[in-house]
Amino acid sequence: MPHVLEALRRLGGSASPREVYDEVALIAKVPDEKRFAKLDSGSLRFPNQVAWARQYLLWENYLASQQKGVWTLTPTGAKTILTPEQAREIFLKWVAIFAERRKSAANEKDRKSEVEKVIDDQIKDAEKLSPSEDVLEFLQGIDDKQFEHFCGDLLRHIGYEDVRVSGGSGDGGIDGFAYLTSEHILRTKVGFQCKRYRSDQSVGPDKVSNFLYAVSKNAQRGILFTTSYFTKAAREVAARDATTPVELIDGEQLVALLQKHQFALREVKSYEADWPMLEQYRIQKPAVVTAK
């Protein structure tokens, strides 16, 4: 919780979830192997932990949720510096609220503490694969050529023109080309490469360096897709090269693109209970006395 508040302050008071994850990892000095560690189900543990921290901060009115896909500090949250001890107090407070809710359905055989039960809920939540994670798992299971065509079709769907998947060695390892036209005037040649890796495999700096070189010889810009993640060193290599603009799209960013453009992921509406709002109705209301 303290890291989420600090991350949002550094980011100007509001940010996308992905920006918050990255900033929290930077503040907490989370190494890549923990940043992208997964549960047995394949779900990422770290974003789940950060998302739960956000939920507690929402309940405490430190964060607002007025805009979908954006985390925003409230005025209270902007000036609040939480210690780890205070964060734990917040956690235990909501554990007590959850305990009250469970009373009517309590099982006498269940000897777990309410803290353990809430932690179990968090773990169960993390172990549920979202539709986005299902799609990413599917993409990790297809062959390389199919993934190249998938990325090409995504670019075509977004608005790129003359998309061609080559996948040959003649273009310096580039898997395909596409053209992006701006205002019907400026036409930019884009080379793309597709790394279909398992979630426990990372794309290192050597792969990015090779791609940068290939793009510099064959295109004006580049996009490197992967179903896994880029190491910190790989991202630094891409950031250092000012002459060849290259976008690195990891697994998380890929599914975000699919969501935004509704390609392989369709938007459906769902509802969840607003428990903090409902809790106020547990308070005994004074009886209304009417005159006879």
Domain boundaries, the chain: 2-102+114-128, 141-261
Tens-place pLDDT, residues 157-216: 999 999 999 866 555 679 999 999 887 778 999 999 999 998 778 899 999 999 999 999
pLDDT on residue 49: 87
CATH fold of 141-261 reads Trna Endonuclease; Chain: A, domain 1 (3.40.1350)
pLDDT on residue 232: 86
Contact 219, 177 (CB under 8 A): yes
Q: Is a pLDDT exceeding 80 seen at residue 102?
A: no
Residue 193: closest CA among 256, 148, 134, 230: 148
Q: In what order do the strands lie in the sheet with 71-73?
A: 14-15, 71-73, 63-64
Q: Is a pLDDT exceeding 90 seen at residue 116?
A: no
pLDDT (mean) for 70-88: 92
Per-residue pLDDT band for 130 (boundaries 50, 70, 90) equals low
Please state the pTM of the whole predicted model: 0.63
Tens-place pLDDT, residues 58-72: 889 999 866 667 889
Maximum Cα interatomic distance, the chain, rounded to a whole number of Å: 94
DSSP state of 103: G
Pick the CATH number of 2-102+114-128 from 1.10.10, 3.30.70, 2.60.40, 3.40.50: 1.10.10
